[in-house]
Amino acid sequence: MVSNAPLRFPPAEPSIMGMPQTTERWTAERVRALPDDGRRHEAVDGVLLVAPSPGRPHQRAVLALVRLLDPFVREHRVGELVLSPADVELDAWTLVQPDLFVEADGRLLLAIEVISPSSAQADRHLKRRRYQAAGIPQYWIVDPDARRIERWRPGAEAPDVVTGPMTWEPAAHGPCLTLDPVALFEDVWR
């Protein structure tokens, strides 16, 4: 059964490094109360992030990823593939909306952000650190301009930078999805 409630994860130690100095902290509840203005509103460790509506390359990349992931997730009953806007609450101070995510039994298995110039800094730093701290098994940063995927895992100091075929194995010794970034980005830039 699909729930409209946001996913909730155990709190992690707040990350102060790289956090703007401000006296105002945003909660997930406060972000949800903002009026809909067509922009994406998120909070990471109490810092409000606001992004404009995405452009066409971003949306084509999301659609190409859905075409790849959805049949695999459904066929192998891995969980549910969810598209933004959909809230993921990591703690009271962190409410994010990954472009795509796969969740199963209340656990986030994969979070994906397709970056654009307006979101790259937050996606690569603030959000990435929070996904890692929350123990999300994989966080993909999809860069349509560079035609690459950065795959982050908890505890990693650097990503696996993927430009050739990669696999995603959501469960140990389970089925694997093979993804070809070259074909993905050809679809995006067709």
Which two tokens mark 61? Answer: 């990349």
The pair of structure tokens assigned to 42 is 């998120």
In this prediction the pTM is: 0.85
**Residue 61 pLDDT:** 96
What is the DSSP secondary-structure string of 17-65? Answer: TT----S----HHHHHTS---SSEEEEETTEEEEEPPP-HHHHHHHHHH
Q: For residues 111 and 87, is the Cβ–Cβ distance under 8 A?
A: no
Residue 190's pLDDT is what? 86
Domain covering 15-188: architecture: Alpha-Beta Complex (3.90)
Question: Cα–Cα distance between 135 and 130 in angstroms, integer?
Answer: 9
Q: Give mean pLDDT in consecutive 10-residue pieces for the chain, a chain of 190 residues.
A: 45 39 82 92 94 91 96 96 94 96 95 93 94 96 95 96 93 91 92
